[in-house]
Amino acid sequence: MANGSSSRTFLDPAVLARLSAVPLFSRRPMQGSVSGRHPSPHRGSSVEFAEYRRYVQGDDLRRVDWRAFGRTERYYVKEFEADTNLRCCVVLDTSGSMGFGSKEINKIEYAKRLAGTLAYLAVQQGDAVGLSCVAGKMVSNLPPRRNPAHLSAIFDVLEQATPEGETQLVPILHELAESISQRAMIVILSDFFLPTEELSDCFEHLRFRKHDISVFQLLDPAELAFEFQRPTRFLDMEGGAPIFADPAEITERYHQALATFLADFKKMMLRSAIDYHRVSIDESYEKVLMNLLAGRHQARRVR
């Protein structure tokens, strides 16, 4: 952690300490610039055997496997996996709807905790971290870097992030898919209150660019339960027209629409092979991150 920790309300040192024990792995090979913990698409010098390859002129004779020559009288070169670092891009939705919170915390605060902790963990293990705040436009964009000073800049941006304006997540995700040149781990924190058809295209775009995508869909318990007794005038937090509704009239259909959206969204996540986490913001964010880390750790072990 850098200076000014007293003002980093979204960071909890105890949580950081506990989560540091579990490394963050990518699910896909990364093209890092330095050695790291993540698999690379290239062969390297790690201790993990990858494959045998026929000797070609120019290969280092020291890498010839003489035992294999003894058995087959052919020259084979023994290759090993390469380990590299990753580029983690955190995309934070700062639109108006992220300011909703029915209890002590709202969605943006919850997202800040997730983003800050994740950035810290990544930098701690030598990975590069960047941050993009998205609302009606790209509010702020920090490219991935792996030095601790950059982490402080990220924390500063997180601190200043405020929920306002409408959501233009879809075009910005398309833009990010194109602008991030190398394979990266992209973590998106949003409520995704957008038509699933539009979101599907941008996720497919990111997947096509071979990025490892993680999605945290943040939902408030009140949005899930929708338990109102009196007629209510709902003000759109993203500046749209207000809606007057009698809960007795609309609750059932609200739940119907919500259930349909969540089912469609989950189906889309599965289709795009995205690491999807639906989060009710009354859950512990430590537990949510632990699920992310543990899930990736297990996936690496299986490989």
Partner 1 sequence: MSFLQPLLLAALPLIALPILIHLVNQRRYQTMPWGAMIFLLAANRLSRGFARLRQWLILAARTLVVAGLIFALARPLASGWLGLAAGSRADTTIILLDRSPSMSAISSGGVSTKLDAGKRHLAETLEKLGSDHWVLIDSATARPVELQSPQALLNAPETEPVGASANLPAMLRAAYQYMQSNQTGRTDIWICSDMRKHDWDAEGGQWPAIRESFVDLPQSVRFYLLAFPQESQENTSLRVTNVRRKQTDQGATLIVSLNITRNGATEEPKTVPVEFDIDGARSTIDIEMNGSTHELKNHEIPLGANQVQGWGRVAIPADSNNLDNEFFFVFDQPPVRKTLLVADEPQEGRALRLAAEIAAEADSQNVVELSSPSQLSSIAWEEIGLVLWQAPLPDGEEAKLLQSFVESDGRVILFPPQSPGSNSFYDLSWGRWNETPEDVIVGNWRGDADLLAHTQSGAALPVGELKFHKTCEIVGEMTPLATLSNGEVLLGRVPTAHGGVYALATTTADSDSSLATDGVVLYVMVQRALSEGCERLGQVRQKVAGTIEGDSSDWKRLTGAELALSNQYAYHSGVFSVDEKLLALNRATAEDATRALSDGKISELFDGLDLVQIDNRVGESSSLVQEIWRMFLIAMLVALIAEAFLCLPKIRSAERALA
Interface with partner 1 by CB under 8 A: which residues?
96-100, 107, 191, 193-195, 220-221, 223-225, 228, 230-238, 240, 243-246, 248-250, 252-262, 278, 280
- Taking a C-beta distance cutoff of 8 angstroms, is the pair 177, 209 a contact? yes
Q: How far is the CB of 263 from partner 1 (least distance, A)?
A: 9
From residue 9, how far is each of 110, 147, 163, 179 by CA, in Å?
A: 11, 22, 17, 31
For the chain, how many residues are written? 303
- Closer residue to partner 1 (CB): 98 or 176: 98
Q: How far is the CB of 193 from partner 1 (least distance, A)?
A: 5
- Closer residue to partner 1 (CB): 15 or 194: 194
- Closer residue to partner 1 (CB): 109 or 212: 109
- Closer residue to partner 1 (CB): 201 or 249: 249
Q: How far is the CB of 173 from partner 1 (least distance, A)?
A: 18
Q: How far is the CB of 99 from partner 1 (least distance, A)?
A: 7
Six token digits for residue 53: 């390859």
- Taking a C-beta distance cutoff of 8 angstroms, is the pair 35, 146 a contact? no
**Residue among 290, 299, 303, 253 at smallest CA distance from 18:** 290
Query: How do strand 76-84 and strand 38-54 relate by DSSP bridges?
Result: antiparallel
- Taking a C-beta distance cutoff of 8 angstroms, is the pair 223, 234 a contact? no
- Closer residue to partner 1 (CB): 250 or 268: 250
Q: How far is the CB of 278 from partner 1 (least distance, A)?
A: 8
